[in-house]
Amino acid sequence: MKKFNLVFLALLSIILVVSGCSTKEEAKPKKEDKKVVVSDKPFKIGAIPDQSMADITRSMDDVAKYLSEETGLKVEFVPSVDYAALVTSFQRGETQLAWFGGLTGVQARNLVPEAEAIAQRPRDAEFKSVFITSVNSGINKLEDLKGNSFTFGSESSTSGHLMPRYFITEAGIDPLKDFDGKPNFSGSHDTTYKLVEAGTFKAGALNIAVWEKAIAEKKVDTNKVKVFYTTPDYYDYNWTINNVDEVYGEGTKEKITKALLNMDSDQKAILDLFATDKFVETKNENYTAIEEVAKSLNIIK
């Protein structure tokens, strides 16, 4: 038995020693790095996990590579499993550039006042959500949703939750009371159409771009699932940049903005993954309407 105590004590000391030593070793060179070459610090970009992780990683790794070549910064993509986690990491300055949805962008810019929405796809100025249901469900308009089961995307999603919820409420349906059971939160747009196609939920709402891409790539069977309502336009996705000039040098924000806006047919592979042919300028004020909606639904206080 005595031996066991010895082992435990030994373990304890090992933990302490090991963690103590190595962190010291690591901490030192990092500090020096910061002082000597400022822009050697990796420039981290992120994206809300609104689609299948494989797709996002593919497109964002390409964006990181492209931005590295254009700006000379060491750009890295850091995947994120959760919408809110990306906003938090943006707030903490751990993410310098992020592909946000309308709502997450507003949340992030509220937390970091210096942050700025710099670019979007042309379609993001007139974005829509689609409401889908199985072909023979008998649901033909928003009012018909009463008494049926329903799934949103992520709770932080603009096109998968915020705007659909807004239009459902406008149609006189209380999402908490009028569905069959509570509404589900699938987590991502891809999951939403898969769940409706599988018949798990009678209806769901998702991002129109993901829906059109799924049809084009034949990922969804339109003999089984149909769109029964398309929302009016609203502003959605955008590239939002953190307060980067301080750390990465004056003009970094401009360089990044220019690189994003300059993407053209030479970067077709990347743009295809974003389902667009270019990025255009945008500004924070474009998202005031989204903020108002979020406030009216008590999602932003």
Partner 1 sequence: MTLISRISLHRKLILTISLICAFFWSVFSVSWDKDLFNSNGANTTFLILGSLFKPNLSPEILILGVKATFITLMYASAGMLIAIVIAVIFGTLGSGVLFGNSVFGNAIATISRSFLGFIRAIHELVWAFLFVSSIGLSPYAAVFALGIPYGGILGRILADILADAPKNSILALRTSGASRLQTLFYGYLPMVSANIISYTMYRFECALRSSAIMSFIGIAGIGYQIQLSLSDLKFDEVWTFIFFLVAMAVLLDFWSIKLRESMNIPKHERKKMNWVQISQVLAVFLALTTWIYIISLDDASFFGIFTENNLLFAKKFFSSMFGIGVENPAFLDIEQWKNAISLTIETIIMGVLAIGFTAVASLLTVLLASKNVATGQLTMGNSLLTKPFFYLIRGFYIFTRSVPELVWAMLIVFIIKPGIIPGAIALALHNIGILGKLWAEVIDEMDTRPIRNLQLNGANYVQMLFYGVIPSVFPQFLSFLFYRAEVIIRTTIVVGLAGAGGLGQEFKMSMSFFDYTNVTLLLICYIVIVFVTDFLSGLSRKIVKENSAIAEP
Site for partner 1 (CB under 8 A): which residue of 40, 58, 72, 92?
Answer: 92
> Which residues does 158 contact at the CB level (< 8 Å), separation at least 6?
101, 102, 103, 104, 127, 234, 236, 290
What is the smallest separation between the CB atom of 298 and partner 1, expressed in angstroms?
Answer: 8
Nearest distance in Å: CB 107, partner 1: 6
Give residue 139's Cα distance to chain centre.
30
Looking up tokens 């891809």 gives 190
Question: What is the C-alpha separation between 83 and 43, in angstroms, rounded?
Answer: 20
Q: CA-CA-CA-CA torsion for 12, 17, 22, 24, nearest 10 degrees?
A: 130
Distance CA 27, CA 91 (A): 23
Residue 268 binds partner 1, judged by CB under 8 A: no
Q: Are 284 and 109 in contact (CB under 8 A)?
A: yes
Q: Is 3 in the site for partner 1 (CB under 8 A)?
A: yes
Q: Which of residues 38, 111, 269, 289 is near partner 1 by CB under 8 A?
A: 111
Binding to partner 1 by residue 228, rule CB under 8 A? no
- What track of x and - describes contact with partner 1 for positions 114 through 153 (by CB under 8 A)? -----------------------------------x----
Nearest approach in angstroms of CB 149 to partner 1 is: 6
* Contact between 201 and partner 1 per CB under 8 A: yes
Cα(177)–Cα(208) distance, rounded to whole angstroms? 26
d(Cα 134, Cα 81) in Å, to the nearest integer? 29
Q: Which of 158, 184, 242, 282 binds partner 1 (CB under 8 A)?
A: 184
* Residues near partner 1 (CB under 8 A), total: 62
Residue 247 binds partner 1, judged by CB under 8 A: no
Query: Does residue 91 interact with partner 1 by CB under 8 A?
Result: yes
Q: Does 102 participate in binding partner 1 (rule CB under 8 A)? A: no
Comparing CB distances to partner 1, the nearer of 157 and 276 is 157
The 31-70 contact track toward partner 1, x by CB under 8 A, reads: ---------------------xx-----------------
> Quick one: 174 exposed, middle or buried, by C-beta within 10 A (0-12, 13-18, 19+)?
exposed
The runs of H, that is alpha helices, within 135-233 are 163-170, 189-197, 208-216
**How far is 123 from 275, CA to CA, in rounded Å?**
9
Cβ neighbours around 141 below 10 Å, total: 10
Is 113 a binder of partner 1 (CB under 8 A)? Answer: no
**CA–CA distance, 257 with 239 (Å, rounded to integer):** 9
Binding piece for partner 1, criterion CB under 8 A, among 14-22, 228-236, 273-281, 284-292:
14-22
Q: Are strands 280-281 and 225-230 parallel, antiparallel or unpaired?
A: unpaired
Residues constituting the chain: 301
Cα–Cα dist 250/81, whole Å: 32
Identity of the residue, 113 or 232, whose beta carbon is nearer to partner 1 in the bound complex? 113
Of these, 65, 70, 93, 247, which contacts partner 1 (CB under 8 A)? 93
Choose the binding region for partner 1 from 193-201, 245-253, 265-273, 278-286 (rule: CB under 8 A): 193-201
19 near partner 1 (CB under 8 A)? yes
Q: Using the 8-state DSSP alphabet, how is residue 183 labeled?
A: P
Residues lying near partner 1 in the complex (CB under 8 A) are found at: 1-5, 7-8, 10-12, 14-15, 18-19, 22-24, 26-27, 30, 52-53, 80-85, 87-89, 91-94, 107, 111, 149, 154-156, 180-188, 190-191, 194-195, 198-202, 299-301
